[in-house]
A and B are shown apart, each in its own frame.
Chain A
Amino acid sequence: MTLPVETEGLTKRYGHVTAVDGISLTVRPGEVYGFLGPNGAGKTTTLRMLLGLVRPTAGSARIFGEAPGAPGHLASVGALIEGPGFYPYLSGRDNLRVVARYSGTGEGRIDTVLDLVDLRDRAGDKFGTYSMGMKQRLGVAAALLKDPRLLILDEPTNGLDPAGMADMRTLVRRLGTAGTTIMLSSHLLGEVQQICDRVGVVAGGRLVAESTVAQLRGQATLRVVAEPLEHATARARALLGADRVRVRDGGLDLAVEPEKAAWVNAELVDAGVAVSELRVRERTLEEVFLELTNDVG
């Protein structure tokens, strides 16, 4: 199976600074892959290497089996990298005509992509007069011109207002549902949590985790606040095993299925423990992300 994106030991050094350090990742056909990391983690440099804009110091990258720079390596790839770059004296439509001519795809899809990003009404205006959000949407429109099988979007919601961000999420979901493979770099974790199938987390130039969002967030736990805490801890350990009970912040985190909450409550009460709080607790992607990236930092 030819993977849309595959890197192995991808490394980029600038002098003594290692921007990307041996990243090996895969993006599978049809998935929406979130590429996460704090600013300066190496996300954009990695994407630039994938697209042939930056030459790797070591390692390899392949898009649909083709190395960057090979003829046709970007034939079915649309990309928006580090903000939209267009000609300010040209209209939005003329900018897309320029892009279409470079890509050799013809100009037949220009109206379609303008509609997709809701920019058709302003397509005749000069790019220099666009708001940040409109510029961003034109960047996405340009990325979609080729009707790509793989779409690489680097912080696509930058500059968008909440409504624009919601529209962008809807668009990405729709494209993903239609079978387009999407690699999405973002630091907006709520956004990634909502739309991505799998994520790769990069920190300090290294890939520190790669899995589905659910796996990364781990199993939901029960949060219990009870008194006396020592008694509650002993009872919970007897019920569930010591390794599934963690004392934290004056309460307990129990690694147990949420549907067993009533049973846990009854057992604790029967043991003379006063339970003042019992709720299901799910780790957010943000918490996981901070744990992973702080470990590296």
Chain B
Amino acid sequence: MWGSFRAETIKAVKRPATWLLAAIGWILSLIFTYLVPYAGYVGDTGGPTSDRLLSDMLPANLVGNSIAGLPVFYGAIMIILGVLVVGGEYGWGTWKTVLVQGPSRMAVFGGKLAVLAVTTLGVLLGTFALGAVASVAIAAAESQPVHWPGPADLVTGVGAGWLIAMMWGAFGGLLAVALRGVALAVGLGLVWALAVQNLLAGIAAPLLDWVAQMQKGLPGPNAGSLVATLGAPADTPGVDALVGSGQATLVLAVYLVAFAAVSAGLLRRRDVL
């Protein structure tokens, strides 16, 4: 699997789409976590959330701010990342090139998951780093004292964010494997992350109790619950403490394993055409 991981590393590092997705995630995170709220705070724009507390943007809230987007918009980016890492071979017809070199299908898939794990962690750490810079800048601009989260909180936050990011990435990978392609997998992944989840939470759940109960077992609401317990702003889309952090962590871990296992099973069983 080490050889597959090294091969996947070249592909991921030199692929412009990897960097583009990371950059989009970082830029959106900066804009909607820091720049827009700060502009509202400074300009007193009169918008519905313009009274957001300055304290929400300071370094003490770095953990919650950095992982708040993962239930929805950052999750969508991770789905695309997962589709690209796992499913790129379908688009370019490279499965045959890879597999005739001799690695087992499971070794190749393991290498892909490992690279996906490293990539999602890198994107997440980048988000934390940029958030740290932005929050310190805001603190300096507003002459506020800088208090950082404790190391344990940081590790917990990164760990939780990584779990959510990997779960979404594995979901993207499963879509790519199941649909044997990239385009439809990306499309369906985005529909789920950006549309279906919101429709369930915003329209169906308030009307139907069984939908509200079912939500507690879905990946998005569990991601939202986990980041909510770690300090993500409650006004962020998808952030809502429907379940406790323990259940959320378990459900997300089960989804991650299940997505990976089903993908592996399909890859192992299917012909490479």
Contacts and interface: CB of A to CB of B under 8 A. Distances in A.
B10 interface: yes
B92 A103 contact: no
Kindly state the interface size class of chain A when it binds its partner: 35 or more
Contacts of A101: 3-4, 6-7, 10
A99 B104 contact: no
A237 interface: no
Contact of B100 (A51, A72, A86): A51
Contacts of A69: 104
Contacts of A77: 100, 102
A98 B10 contact: yes
Contacts of B7: 97-99, 101-102
Interface in A102-137: 102-104
A19 B155 CA distance: 55
Given A48-B272, A90-B11, A97-B10, A104 B96 contact: no
Contacts of A90: 10-11, 14
Given A53-B271, A94-B10, A102-B7, A71 B104 contact: yes
B247 interface: no
B96 A85 contact: yes
Nearest to B272: A53
B93 interface: yes
Contacts of A97: 7, 10
Kindly state the interface size class of chain B when it binds its partner: 20 to 34
B138 to A, nearest CB: 38
A17 B203 CA distance: 48
B272 A54 contact: yes
A104 B3 contact: yes
| Centre residue among A69, A74, A104 by max chain B CB count within 10 A | A104
Contacts, number: 88
A9 interface: no
Contact of A89 (B3, B4, B15): B15
Contact of B92 (A53, A85, A102, A139): A85
Nearest to B271: A54
A81 interface: yes
A142 interface: yes
Contacts of A139: 97
B99 interface: yes
Contacts of B3: 101-104
B143 interface: no
A79 B92 contact: no
Contacts of A99: 7, 97, 101
Contacts of B141: none
B2 to A, nearest CB: 9
B92 A87 contact: yes
| Centre residue among B11, B98, B100, B101 by max chain A CB count within 10 A | B100
Interface in B5-28: 6-7, 10-11, 14-16
A3 interface: no
Interface in B62-116: 88, 92-104, 108
User: 10 closest Cβ contacts across the A-B interface?
Assistant: A101-B7, A103-B101, A102-B101, A85-B93, A74-B102, A53-B272, A85-B94, A79-B100, A54-B271, A85-B97
Given A85-B94, A98-B7, 20 more contacts: A53-B271, A73-B102, A74-B100, A77-B102, A81-B100, A85-B92, A86-B92, A86-B97, A87-B15, A87-B94, A88-B92, A89-B16, A90-B11, A97-B10, A98-B11, A99-B97, A101-B4, A101-B7, A102-B108, A104-B103
25 contacts: A51-B99, A52-B99, A53-B95, A53-B271, A53-B272, A54-B271, A54-B273, A79-B100, A81-B100, A84-B97, A86-B94, A87-B15, A87-B88, A88-B92, A90-B14, A94-B10, A98-B7, A98-B11, A99-B101, A101-B3, A102-B7, A102-B98, A103-B3, A142-B97, A146-B101
